[in-house]
C-alpha cells in the first residue's frame, strides 16, 4: 500500500471525528467535511483500482442514503449537514455494511438523545456553561446528531471490505 493510499484512508476517521466535534461546538457540519469524505473515497478508489461495479455499488448506497436523509431533512427531522454526512459516510461502507452503519448511527443517536435530554433536566444555574453547552441545554433545542453519525461510521469502518482490502 502506498503512503498516499494510507493518507487517504485516514480521511474517513479524521473527517468523522472533526464533524462530531464541530457539530457539538457549533451545531453545524460544514460542506467541506462531506466533500473531503467524497474526495478521499474517490482517491482510494482510483489508487486501488476499485472495479467499476464495486464503485457503482458504493455510489448507489450513498445516493440511497442521501435520498432518505434528504426526506428526513425536508420534514425537519434531520439537519442538512447530518444528511450529507450520513450519505458521504455510506459511500465508504458499500452495500455489505451500509445497513450496519445506519443501525449503529440510530443506536448511538438514541443514546445521544437520552443523554442530552437528561442533561437538559439539570438546572442550568448550577455550573457556569460555555456557549456551546448552553445551546445543548436549551429545552427543545437541536441535538448534535453528527456525533452519532461519526460514532456509527467509526464503529463500522474497520470492518468494511474497503478497509480490509487496502490495509491487507
**Residues of the chain by 3-state class (helix, strand, coil), percent to 5:** 80, 0, 20
pLDDT tens, 107-158? Answer: 999 999 999 999 999 887 777 888 888 888 888 889 999 999 999 999 999 9
Looking at the predicted structure, is the pLDDT value of residue 165 above 70? yes
For the chain, give every domain's residue range.
3-167
* The predicted structure's pLDDT at residue 1: 64
> What percent of the chain lies above the pLDDT cut of 90?
78
Q: What is the pLDDT of residue 5?
A: 82
HSE, CB side, 13 Å, CA atoms: give it for residue 93.
Answer: 30
Give the contacts of 67 (CB within 8 A, at least 6 positions apart): none
Query: What is the Cα–Cα distance from 38 to 141, expressed in whole angstroms?
Result: 30
**Is residue 42 a contact partner of residue 77, using CB atoms and an 8 Å limit?**
no
Q: Report the range of poorest mean pLDDT among 17-26, 86-95, 119-128, 136-145.
A: 119-128
Judged by DSSP in three states, 20 sits in helix
pLDDT value for 140? 86
Please check whether residue 102 is in contact with residue 115, taking contact to mean a CB–CB distance below 8 angstroms: no
pTM: 0.94
Q: Over 90: is that where the pLDDT of 166 sits?
A: no
Using one digit for the tens of pLDDT, what is the confidence trace for 31-82?
Answer: 999 999 999 999 999 999 999 999 999 999 999 999 999 999 999 999 999 9
Which residue did the predictor score with more confidence, 29 or 128?
29
Angle between helices 11-26 and 146-156 (to 10 degrees): 160
Amino acid at each position: 500500500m502506498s503512503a498516499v493510499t494510507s493518507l487517504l484512508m485516514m480521511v474517513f476517521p479524521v473527517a468523522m471525528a472533526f464533524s462530531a466535534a464541530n457539530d457539538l461546538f457549533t451545531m453545524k457540519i460544514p460542506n467541506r467535511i462531506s466533500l473531503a469524505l467524497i474526495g478521499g473515497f474517490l482517491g482510494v478508489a482510483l489508487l486501488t483500482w476499485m472495479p467499476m461495479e464495486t464503485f457503482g455499488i458504493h455510489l448507489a448506497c450513498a445516493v440511497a442514503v442521501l435520498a432518505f436523509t434528504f426526506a428526513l431533512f425536508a420534514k425537519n427531522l434531520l439537519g442538512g449537514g447530518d444528511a450529507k454526512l450520513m450519505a458521504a459516510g455510506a459511500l465508504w461502507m458499500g452495500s455489505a455494511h451500509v445497513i450496519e452503519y445506519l443501525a449503529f448511527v440510530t443506536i448511538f443517536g438514541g443514546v445521544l438523545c437520552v443523554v442530552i435530554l437528561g442533561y437538559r433536566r439539570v438546572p442550568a444555574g448550577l455550573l457556569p456553561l460555555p456557549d456551546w453547552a448552553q445551546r445543548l441545554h436549551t429545552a427543545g433545542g437541536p441535538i448534535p446528531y453528527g456525533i452519532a453519525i461519526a460514532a456509527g461510521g467509526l464503529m463500522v469502518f474497520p470492518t468494511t471490505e474497503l478497509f480490509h482490502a487496502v490495509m491487507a
